[in-house]
Amino acid sequence: MSKNLASKAVSGLKWGTVSTIANAIMQIGYTSAMARLLAPETFGLVAIAGVIIRFGSYFAHLGLSQAIIQKEELTADNIRAAFTSSTLLGLLFMLLVWALAPMAALFFDNGTFESEAVIPIVRAMSLAFLIAGLSATATSLTERNMRFKELSIVETLSYVISYLGVGVLLAFLGYGVWSLVIATLTQATLVAVGAYFITRHNVLPLFKWESYKPLFSYGSKMSIISFLEFLSQDMATILIGKTLGPYSLGIYDRAHRLVNLPMYMLTRTISRVIFPSFSKLQAETEKLASAYISSTTLLATIIIPTCLGLLAAAPEVVYLLLGDQWGESIPVLQVLCLAIPLSFITMFAGIVCDAKAVLNIKIVLTLVFIAVITGFFFVFRQYGLVGFAFAILAGELVRTLFYQTVLNRILKLSYLKQLQAYIPGVVNGAIIGSVIYVLSTMLRSVGLSHILILGIQISTGAILFLVLTLFFPQKTLKSQINMFLSKLGVEENPTSYYGRMISKYKKTVANSTEG
């Protein structure tokens, strides 16, 4: 990876990390407030509407956003073609979803709720198609140019205004489900406006097929893959909404979001940096393989310990953030804490396939995964929500093995080397999760308050994570950390503050390892 590309990638990760932390903190407050202001059925209705909207979005976008980022040579006509098609498709699907909303709602009608209640929600949220169509090109160009600092600022400010401002206020005033809908549309609008101000482009329509062809050739396959991934990722939401109704779906949705959203915010930031970086390395297999191993190792080191720590602290997290009425979500959350890390880590393998345009293999793999996870849902359905969570865990284990086979083929990576990337995260996660579990059991037995226990859990987990990761890293992790730190420019400016700090850290790690 060239120094310029590495520098942009590191800068993107810096700003993405800041944005992620800020959004994670705000999400905690937002989730806690809304869970106390709204009933489980409300979240279930919005989750059902969200599935319907996402169903259409993968056809509406046709993978054009990824095509803009992935294409090595992008012309002005390509950009105009992408904007024209994205806008027209957004408008078309907004009208289609508006008209077909009653039929979509009937799919989820199982007699436990009035399906008509979903129709106006779906119709209102269909506006997201047009908003996304208008903003897709500007957002993709911003990511292609790796201007993540500006994009992070826009997304953070839009979250504050839309969710913490508009959403919470409307929920407090009694707008119920509409507080969630309006907050979502408000943020999408603010991000669209902000993205265009960051990267302005020609918005005049263009109707020359030569400019569309290279985008649709790649984008159409990406659209199929994205739709199939939607089916695999939202299978639980679809089946729970269909078989158990909005109340159970609301319980599942909150549990899933508690672990999924922070991980999504983190990996979304990283993936937005990684995809253009991997795309620029698509012709250099050896360098791409090295970048994949580094990215996977570092991500697993963060995600796995975080999720296993959350598993041990699940009761306190649920009772404090959601409230006592959400106790049913605790065992679901604990199982999902084992499944979600695998889902996000294998995401990098998918990005490798996207960057190298190895899309046919990915389509087949995703179809097989859908069949596998559907079978697991059928096997575990008798155990209710917890059974659905175990089905997701089993499916993710199978998908991980599938992707390792694919990477062995296209990157020539041995299975052992791929598995080694997980070891630091698994070992550190097992230690952190076990310590927090034992400590939590002792603290609960003496009757301490939830907030005090959670504070001790977070402090313990943070200290253990820093010690295990920074001062006693395993061999695999140590080499990846040193490689990452070298990208920060210590050699170019060893007298800077960060240069001195990083040099000091390297010496500390070396001494602790030798000792």
- Which one has a higher pLDDT value, 95 or 369? 95
Residue 5's pLDDT band (cuts 50, 70, 90): low
Using DSSP, how many helices (H) and how many strands (E) does the chain show?
23, 0
Residue position matching structure tokens 């992707």:
403
Query: Own/partner pairs for 181-187, CB < 8 Å, 24+ apart?
Result: 181/46, 181/49, 181/121, 181/124, 181/125, 184/125, 184/128, 185/124, 185/125, 185/127, 185/128, 185/131, 186/158, 186/161, 186/162, 187/158, 187/159, 187/161, 187/162, 187/163
What pLDDT is stored for residue 480 in this prediction? Answer: 65
Tell me: pLDDT of 501 over 50. Answer: no
Taking the CA atoms of the chain, what radius of gyration do you get in angstroms?
23
Mean pLDDT over residues 73-92, rounded? 82
Weakest-pLDDT range from 171-175, 227-231, 443-447: 227-231
| Average of per-residue pLDDT across 385-391 | 89
What's the pLDDT at 443?
Answer: 93
> How far is Cα 271 from Cα 252, in angstroms, rounded to an integer?
26
Among 39-48, 71-80, 412-421, 501-510, where is mean pLDDT lowest?
Answer: 501-510
The whole-angstrom distance between residue 182's C-alpha and the CA centroid of its chain comes to 22
pLDDT for res 310: 94
Determine the pLDDT at residue 33: 78
DSSP symbol at 248: H
How much is the average pLDDT of 26-43? 75
pLDDT in tens, 214-257: 666 666 666 677 677 767 777 777 777 777 777 888 888 888 88
Q: Give the model's pLDDT for residue 257.
A: 83
Sequence-ordered alpha helix ranges (H) in 199-245: 209-233, 235-243
CA-nearest of 420, 357, 122 to 219 is 357
| Token output for 478 | 């140590």
Higher pLDDT, 85 or 329: 329
Token code pair at residue 149: 């600092």
**By the 8 A CB rule, do 88 and 130 touch?**
no
Model confidence at 213, pLDDT cuts 50, 70, 90, reads low
Taking the complete model, does pTM exceed 0.85, yes or no?
no
pLDDT in tens, 135-145: 888 888 887 77
User: Measured between alpha carbons, how far apart are the two ends of the chain, in Å?
Assistant: 33
pLDDT in tens, 114-163: 667 788 888 898 898 888 888 888 888 887 777 777 887 888 888 889 98
pLDDT of residue 336: 93
- The one-letter code for the residue type at 512 is S
Q: 143, 12 in Cβ contact below 8 A?
A: no
Q: How confident is the model at residue 333 (pLDDT cuts 50, 70, 90)?
A: very high
Q: State the Cα–Cα distance between residues 87 and 488, nearest whole angstrom.
A: 39
The three-state (H, E, C) secondary structure of 106-156, written as one string: HHCCCCCCCHHHHHHHHHHHCHHHHHHHHHHHHHHHHHHCCCHHHHHHHHH
**465-500 tens-digit pLDDT:** 999 888 877 777 776 666 655 554 444 444 444 455
> Mean pLDDT in the chain?
78
pLDDT, residue 108, reads 67
